[in-house]
């Protein structure tokens, strides 16, 4: 009896969950296919099973128990039913269960219904007769007006229950006086007593507590309430409207302890993700977290290829208890991604379209030609290079007539000359749904983004089908298939082909002296070439990168019927990733135009010279490269999940194997026959104009993963896991590594002694300890470097040698260094302590974590012990140690007043590394790295500018010199703090002169140790507003070269801040140093010093989203189920920023981050 009650309780516990969560659960409840056949046979048809019941004078539930023992059936009933209290006798032999039941219910007023999963529900006869009369229908929406599908609707204390379909509709049978209960994950539970109404619409309030949320964890899901490890999770529903082309760009500041850095404003740019300040300091290795998509190990590239609309959730696993199941590669944290699956109900169809534009957030302002001419004249008057006697002589001032001309005829610099307003568009559509047998999610997406300069474009396409089929009640087959494709197109910039930021920087400080183009032709009068021409007309060619992904996963999940709680599963994934690159380089042609004889800046349109520039050997060539990765991952799982009264046990065993290989090929052919035919065949056929090479890689990994977790009464939790991995990165015999973890949690508020107080509604404390590793100890690509082998490398033709009259290149191979035969994993011991709290009926929740990651066996040479005469770097060994310590804190509040709901969230994470063990032998002890964080900033200490002659005279009389040079008026005064290393080994005795000995640590951090995020959202009826602020703190940045160097040549320009340069007579209080000459070798002004160091802390409104749901009345006529329109703004403004000149998230020189405005529409059918 107790068992039956428990069962009922369980039934109710399961029912409230959305079918989505069910699917998640189902995925987790997996099988080993070995058991498949045996169980499959039994599961064939329960109705065909025959039972024998011979019982006398027993209560009816006893009969049900007997049937349960002999068959697969399970019973559900309300124990209060009077008929069940009657004692009966049964004597039936080898009968089917329905026959038995028909027999025993005869005359009891009871009947039964067979449900899925061999469940038999026992109900009174009358309820089934008047079914239609007591049918109650309705729609369930959330407080934002969105329909809630998959919500559970049931009659209180009865077994009757259902779930809402995709439109949020439900139908249920109920009687007057009974209570309808509506439950859905992440929403508050609602109840209503049935009166005469036949229709009830519900509006669910978002669940106040985030604690019950179910999030994805390694190889499964877990409710936040029961977590004992450090995991931050981001549900993508709030991110859908943000028009970012890559997933990583959406995540900045969203999760504490996860640092997301934007690298620039180029279309298709992705952001880097680092978890808990992962650091390798001066060692080899990687700080990149592991990416896992739908339980398959992936890469950052594949992660960014996903469209936000196909993603359900992203979890960041931060401590070893969470990541140890990814042992050999989990040291830097894990980014887990789950794509969407179908939710039960009628097919739903959704379309989202976004259109927008972008502009540069903040870019440095450059001097105009006129302003710069004045500065150049100033520097000439001062003597161009104050450190070289007479250096200004022989150089003539820019005369007055030319100055006037420049003032009256301002020209745009190259940046402005090519600036455009780009467009982007993004479409996505998906359909999803589920029946008892099939669930599906099918989507397609397309994004097209232009840049703020011409000839920059990024396009992305994706198609996905996630389909699950229930083959039998216990066996499910799932197929996830997707193809992805992106195309990144740019003009070619030969000096840094990987980035166009350098091109942007060059354009900024050039080109405003004469027009950038005359009659559309690039002007080269003051420049060797025109960077603007590169951008505007593909003046040096183009570069196109394409990615093609084909990815499929087939999974079988099996619930073992005869061992309750046991399930098994098998997953096979196959992936083909093809990356192709096409680079077309062409000679750049620019023109020198005739100038007015008295004014070189006044140009006519007559061409007097042509400059043709062929950049390098391949300056006129087409290069195509192709890299194909084939990989598979196979994973077999056995899960056990069962409760015994107050005791719950979960166990998992997984075997995983994965192999991958890469095939790389690249070929170049030079001298295109025509720039219009950009094909390899249409080039010079000569043998010396062809160049190609290729390479292969392969890798294999084996893993055994097991974990056991136990909880008592959902109050005390204990989990352990062990993963064993073999990686081919290490020598046979050293390939296996073992990575254990343990964690525990205690929900204090469950204790009786805590129940009486009203302040804290929920409190959990938890702790974890574990070890993880990294097999990518050399920090290469995802294929291991065989550091234990001596290998010979074939040199490129440019590094070959030439013999013979034919001048043929001879093959050159060279031996590598010493093999690292002892190479092994670099490992991390992680300690994590956390607490989760709920207040105000859990409307206010808080989480706090402190952690320490002790990373050891980092890979590097032990430099100090091996003499140079050895002739090779000693083999690298695993010896380095780095600790990272930090904390994370988050606070969330959700509330509502009638139709107005609001929520606020704040999270902050701090992490700082410290080098514990590193071989170093610095000349001076104070240069030591050991004992400090790895991102300190070096430079001189600056004491303002030398502003007066008396100041200068005093310095000269004291013998002050900078690198053997005398000081001069208007220079940045660098402080003397030390003497020469041999004279002043301790580095505390100033010697009167400033030399590199005086360089010291002037900045604590070059990257932000503190990341925080703040979110506020409101909704009222159809309107909703979400805003999100991201902030970085605790770090400094140096003004970049373009801001601090003198560009004293005609044709150049610098930052407009130079307009306030010190001049002894005219501008004695200028903020900038005196503008002198770039020729000043070792000039103190241009050195890295505190003069140029700025606090880089900032916070910006990262995102603002305003949406309006058009009332259904209006859209229904058009056949549209739901429609909403929205505006989205990204990077709209800074809340504060100490650096005013440039975007502190970047370096101040490259292509700035973009501010975007977009509008969109979302339709559902």
Binders of another protein among residues 764 to 793 (CB under 8 A) are 786, 789-793
Residue number, 121 or 398, with CB nearest to another protein: 398
971-1010 residues near another protein, rule: CB under 8 A:
982
Q: Interacting stretch for another protein, rule CB under 8 A, among 86-94, 482-490, 809-817, 949-957?
A: 809-817
Stretch that binds another protein, among 39-47, 252-260, 1014-1022, 1150-1158 (CB under 8 A): 39-47
Among 4, 7, 15, 40, binds another protein (CB under 8 A): 40
**Residue indicated by tokens 């005390």:** 716
Q: Considering only residues 731-750, where is the footprint of another protein by CB under 8 A?
A: 732, 735
Biggest distance spanned by C-alpha atoms of the chain = 123
A 10 A CB-CB count for 1124 gives: 22
Query: If we measure between CA atoms, which residue out of 383, 238, 377, 364 comes closest to residue 311?
Result: 238
* Stretch of residues binding another protein (CB under 8 A), selected from 110-118, 592-600, 824-832, 1152-1160: 592-600
Q: Is residue 800 near another protein by the rule CB under 8 A?
A: yes
DSSP of 446-505, one letter per residue?
EEEEE-SSTTEEEEEEEEEEEEEEESSSSEEEEEEEEEEEEEEEEE--TT-TT-SHHHHH
d(C-alpha 881, C-alpha 854), whole Å: 7
Candidate segments 317-325, 463-471, 1026-1034, 1047-1055, binder of another protein by CB under 8 A? 1047-1055
Q: By CB under 8 A, which span of 309-317, 320-328, 594-602, 1061-1069 interacts with another protein?
A: 594-602
Minimum CB distance to another protein smaller for 495 or for 712: 495
Interaction residues for another protein, span 704-733 (CB under 8 A): 704, 726, 728, 732
Each residue 815-854 as x (binds another protein by CB under 8 A) or -, in order, gives: xx-x------------------------------------
Positions in 43-62 near another protein (CB under 8 A) = 44
Least Å from the CB of residue 657 to another protein? 5
Judge whether 327 and 739 are in contact, CB under 8 Å.
Answer: yes
Residues 936-975 that bind another protein (CB under 8 A): none
* Residues 6 or more apart in contact with residue 353 via CB below 8 angstroms: 425, 426, 427, 1160, 1161
3-state secondary structure of 178: coil
Residue with tokens 């032709």: 521
Both tokens of 962, joined, read 């900078």
**685: contact with another protein by CB under 8 A:** no
Residue 610 touching another protein (CB under 8 A): yes
Phi/psi for 934 (5° steps) reads: -90, -5
> Minimum distance between the CB of residue 540 and another protein, rounded to whole angstroms?
13
Nearest distance from C-beta of residue 596 to another protein, angstroms:
9
Shortest Å, Cβ 993 to another protein: 14
Interface with another protein (CB under 8 A), residue from 4, 11, 15, 33: 33
Report residue 640 as tokens. 């056990």
Position among 865, 898, 1113, 1119 found at the interface with another protein (CB under 8 A): 865
**CA triple 437-441-446, angle to 5 deg:** 165
* Count of residues in contact with another protein, rule CB under 8 A: 105
CB closer to another protein out of 549 and 699: 699
Q: Which residue, 40 or 896, is less far from another protein as judged by CB?
A: 40
Q: How far is the CB of 670 from another protein (least distance, A)?
A: 9
By C-beta, is 421 or 964 nearer to another protein? 964
Residue 276 vs 509, nearer CB to another protein: 509
Residue from 811, 950, 1066, 1069 touching another protein (CB under 8 A): that is 811
Q: What gap in Å lies between CA 163 and CA 809, rounded to an integer? A: 74
**Using CB under 8 A as the criterion, what x/- string covers residues 562-591 for binding another protein?**
-------------------------x----
Instruction: Kindly tell me the burial class for residue 151, based on how many C-beta atoms sit within 10 Å of its own C-beta (0-12, 13-18, 19 or more).
Output: buried
What's the rounded Cα separation, in Å, for the pair 147 and 1068? 68
Distance, CA of 406 to CA of 369 (rounded, Å): 6
Rounded distance between C-alpha atoms, residue 1098 and residue 791, angstroms: 48
Token code pair at residue 446: 């397309």
Q: Pattern of binders to another protein over 872-891, x per CB under 8 A?
A: x-xx----------------
Q: Which is nearer to another protein, 68 or 997 (CB)?
A: 997
The minimum distance between CB 150 and another protein, in angstroms, equals: 33
Six-digit token string for 575:
């992936």
Q: Of 629-658, which residues contact another protein (CB under 8 A)?
A: 634, 655, 657-658
Please state at what angle helix 97-105 crosses helix 60-70, rounded to 10 degrees: 170
Q: Is 751 helix (H, G, I), strand (E, B) or coil?
A: coil
Residues 223-227: contacts with CB under 8 Å, at least 24 apart:
224/836, 225/714, 225/747, 225/762, 225/764, 226/711, 226/714, 226/717, 226/745, 227/745, 227/766
SS3 assignment for 882-915: EEEEEEEEEEEEEEEECCEEEEEEEEEEEEEEEE
Residue 96 CB, nearest distance to another protein (Å)? 16
Q: Which is nearer to another protein, 195 or 597 (CB)?
A: 597
1049 touches another protein by CB under 8 A: yes
Site for another protein in 405-464 (CB under 8 A): none
CA dihedral defined by 989, 994, 996, 999, rounded to 10 degrees? 70
Element (H, E) at 1044: helix 1041-1044
Rounded least distance, CB 872 to another protein, Å: 5
Burial class (CB in 10 A: 0-12, 13-18, 19+), 417: buried
For another protein, which is the closer residue by CB, 459 or 559? 559
Q: Should residue 1118 be labelled a site residue for another protein when binding is judged by CB under 8 A?
A: no
Residue with smaller CB distance to another protein, 37 or 757: 37
- Nearer Cβ to another protein, position 44 or 109? 44
Minimum separation from the CB atom of position 796 to another protein (A): 8
Task: Specify which residues 459 forms β-bridges with.
Answer: 448, 487
Q: Which of 906, 913, 767, 740 is nearest to 832 (CA)?
A: 767
- Is residue 1125 part of the contact set for another protein (CB under 8 A)? no
Answer for the pair 1036, 1006: CB distance below 8 angstroms, yes or no. Answer: yes
Q: How many Å separate Cα 419 from the centre of its chain?
A: 30
Least Cβ distance, residue 6 to another protein (angstroms): 29
Q: Cβ of 473: how many Cβ atoms within 10 Å?
A: 16
- Is 734 in contact with 824 (CB distance < 8 Å)? yes
Per CB under 8 A, does 871 bind another protein? yes
Smallest separation (angstroms) from another protein to the CB of 921? 6
Site for another protein in 612-631 (CB under 8 A): 612-614, 616-617, 619
- Considering only residues 335 to 394 of the shown chain, the ones binding another protein according to CB under 8 A are 388-391, 393-394
Over the window 514 to 553, marking each residue x when it contacts another protein by CB under 8 A and - when it does not, the resulting string is -----------xxxxx------------------------
* Residue 806 makes contact with another protein by CB under 8 A: yes
Instruction: Establish if 467 lies at the interface with another protein (CB under 8 A).
Output: no
């Amino acid at each position: 009896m107790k068992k039956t009650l428990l069962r009922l309780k369980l039934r109710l516990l399961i029912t409230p969950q959305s079918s989505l969560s069910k699917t998640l659960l189902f995925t987790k409840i997996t099988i080993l296919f070995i058991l498949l056949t045996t169980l499959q046979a039994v599961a064939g048809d329960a109705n065909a099973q025959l039972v024998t019941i011979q019982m006398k004078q027993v209560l009816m539930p006893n009969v049900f128990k007997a049937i349960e023992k002999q068959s697969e059936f399970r019973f559900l009933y309300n124990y209060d039913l009077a008929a069940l209290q009657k004692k009966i006798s049964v004597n039936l032999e080898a009968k089917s269960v329905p026959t038995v039941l028909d027999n025993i219910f005869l005359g009891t007023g009871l009947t039964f219904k067979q449900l899925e999963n061999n469940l038999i529900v026992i109900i009174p006869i009358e309820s089934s007769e008047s079914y239609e009369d007591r049918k109650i229908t309705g729609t369930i929406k959330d407080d934002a007006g969105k329909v809630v599908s998959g919500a559970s609707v049931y009659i209180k204390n009865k077994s009757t229950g259902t779930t809402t379909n995709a439109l949020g509709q439900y139908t249920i049978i109920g009687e007057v006086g009974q209570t309808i209960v509506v439950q859905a994950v992440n929403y508050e539970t609602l109840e209503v007593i049935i009166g005469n109404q036949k229709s009830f619409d519900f509006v669910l309030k978002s669940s106040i507590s985030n604690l019950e949320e179910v999030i994805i964890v390694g190889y499964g899901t877990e409710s936040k309430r029961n977590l004992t490890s450090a995991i931050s999770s981001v549900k993508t529903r709030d991110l859908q409207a943000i028009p970012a082309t890559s997933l990583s760009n959406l995540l900045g500041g969203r999760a504490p302890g996860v640092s997301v850095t934007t690298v620039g404003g180029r279309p298709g740019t992705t952001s880097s993700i680092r978890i808990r300040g992962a650091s390798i300091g001066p060692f080899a290795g990687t700080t990149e977290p592991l990416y896992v998509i739908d339980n398959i190990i992936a890469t950052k590239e594949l992660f960014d290829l996903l469209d936000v609309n196909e993603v359900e959730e992203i979890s960041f696993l931060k401590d070893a208890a969470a990541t140890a199941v990814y042992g050999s590669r989990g040291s830097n944290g894990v980014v887990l991604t789950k794509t969407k699956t179908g939710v039960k109900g009628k097919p739903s169809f959704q379309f989202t379209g976004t259109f927008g534009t972008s502009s540069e957030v903040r870019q440095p302002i450059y001097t105009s030609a006129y302003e710069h001419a004045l500065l150049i004249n100033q520097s000439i008057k001062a003597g161009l290079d104050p450190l070289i006697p007479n250096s200004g002589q022989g150089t003539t001032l820019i005369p007055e007539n030319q100055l006037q001309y420049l003032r009256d005829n301002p020209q745009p610099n190259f940046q402005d000359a090519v600036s455009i307003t780009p467009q982007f568009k993004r479409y996505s559509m998906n359909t999803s749904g589920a029946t008892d047998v099939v669930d599906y999610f099918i989507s397609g997406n397309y994004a097209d983004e232009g840049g703020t300069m011409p000839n920059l474009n990024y396009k992305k396409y994706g198609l996905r089908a996630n389909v699950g089929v229930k083959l039998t009640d216990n066996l499910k087959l799932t197929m996830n298939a997707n193809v992805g494709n992106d195309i990144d197109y740019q003009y070619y910039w030969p000096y840094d082909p990987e980035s166009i930021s350098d091109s942007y920087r060059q354009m900024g400080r050039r080109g405003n002296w004469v027009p950038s183009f005359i009659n559309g032709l690039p002007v080269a009068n003051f420049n060797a070439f025109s960077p603007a021409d590169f951008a505007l007309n593909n003046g040096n060619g183009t570069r196109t990168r394409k990615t093609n992904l084909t990815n499929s996963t087939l999974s079988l999940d099996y619930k073992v019927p005869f061992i309750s709680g046991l399930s098994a599963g098998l997953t096979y994934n196959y992936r083909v990733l093809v990356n192709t690159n096409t680079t077309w380089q062409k000679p750049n042609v620019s023109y020198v135009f005739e100038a007015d004889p008295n004014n070189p800046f006044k140009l006519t349109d007559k061409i007097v010279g042509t400059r043709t520039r062929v950049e390098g050997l391949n300056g006129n060539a087409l290069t195509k490269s192709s890299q194909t990765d084939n990989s598979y991952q196979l994973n077999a799982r056995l899960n056990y999940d069962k409760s015994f009264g107050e005791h719950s046990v979960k166990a998992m065993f997984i075997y995983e194997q994965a192999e991958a290989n890469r095939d790389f090929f690249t070929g170049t052919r030079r001298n295109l026959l025509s720039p219009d035919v950009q094909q390899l065949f249409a080039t010079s056929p000569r043998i010396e104009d062809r160049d190609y090479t290729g390479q292969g890689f392969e890798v294999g990994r084996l893993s055994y993963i097991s974990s056991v977790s136990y909880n008592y009464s959902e109050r005390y939790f204990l989990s352990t896991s062990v993963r064993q991995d073999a990686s081919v990165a290490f020598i046979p015999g050293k390939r296996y590594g073992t990575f254990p973890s343990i964690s525990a949690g205690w929900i204090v508020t469950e204790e009786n002694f805590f129940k009486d107080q009203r302040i804290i509604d929920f409190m959990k404390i938890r702790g974890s300890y574990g070890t993880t590793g990294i097999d990518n100890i050399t920090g290469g690509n995802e294929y291991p470097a065989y550091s234990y082998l001596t290998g010979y490398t074939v040199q490129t033709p440019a590094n070959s040698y030439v013999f013979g009259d034919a001048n043929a290149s001879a093959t050159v191979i060279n031996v590598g260094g010493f093999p690292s035969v002892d190479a092994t994993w670099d490992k991390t011991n992680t300690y994590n302590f956390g607490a989760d709290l709920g207040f105000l009926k859990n409307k206010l929740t808080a989480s706090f974590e402190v952690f320490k990651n002790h990373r050891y066996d980092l890979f590097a040479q032990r430099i100090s012990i091996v003499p140079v005469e050895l002739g090779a770097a000693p083999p690298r060994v695993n010896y380095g140690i780095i600790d990272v310590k930090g904390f994370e804190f988050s606070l969330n509040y959700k509330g509502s007043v009638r139709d107005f709901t609001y929520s606020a969230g704040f999270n902050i994470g701090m992490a700082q590394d410290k080098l514990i063990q590193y071989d170093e032998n610095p000349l001076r002890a104070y240069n030591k790295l050991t004992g400090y964080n790895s991102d300190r900033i070096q430079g001189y200490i600056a004491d303002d500018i030398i502003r007066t002659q008396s100041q200068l005279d005093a310095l000269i009389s004291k013998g002050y010199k900078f690198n053997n040079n005398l000081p001069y008026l208007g220079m940045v005064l660098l402080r003397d703090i030390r003497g020469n290393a041999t004279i002043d080994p301790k580095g505390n005795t100033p010697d009167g002169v400033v030399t590199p000995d005086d360089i010291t640590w002037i900045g604590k951090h070059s990257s932000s140790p503190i990341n925080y995020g703040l979110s506020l959202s409101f909704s009222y009826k159809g309107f909703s507003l979400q805003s999100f602020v991201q902030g970085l703190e605790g770090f400094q940045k140096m003004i970049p070269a373009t801001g601090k160097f003198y560009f004293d040549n005609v044709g150049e320009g610098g930052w407009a801040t130079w307009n306030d340069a010190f001049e002894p007579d005219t501008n004695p209080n200028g903020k900038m140093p005196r503008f002198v000459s770039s020729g000043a070798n070792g000039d103190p002004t241009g050195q890295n010093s505190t003069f140029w160091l700025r606090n880089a802390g900032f916070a910006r409104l990262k995102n603002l989203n305003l949406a309006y749901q058009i009332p259904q009345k209006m859209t229904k006529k058009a056949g549209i189920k739901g429609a909403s329109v929205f505006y989205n703004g990204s990077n709209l403004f800074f809340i504060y920023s100490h650096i005013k000149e440039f975007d502190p998230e970047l370096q101040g020189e490259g292509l700035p981050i973009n501010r975007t405005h977009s509008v969109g529409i979302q339709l559902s059918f």
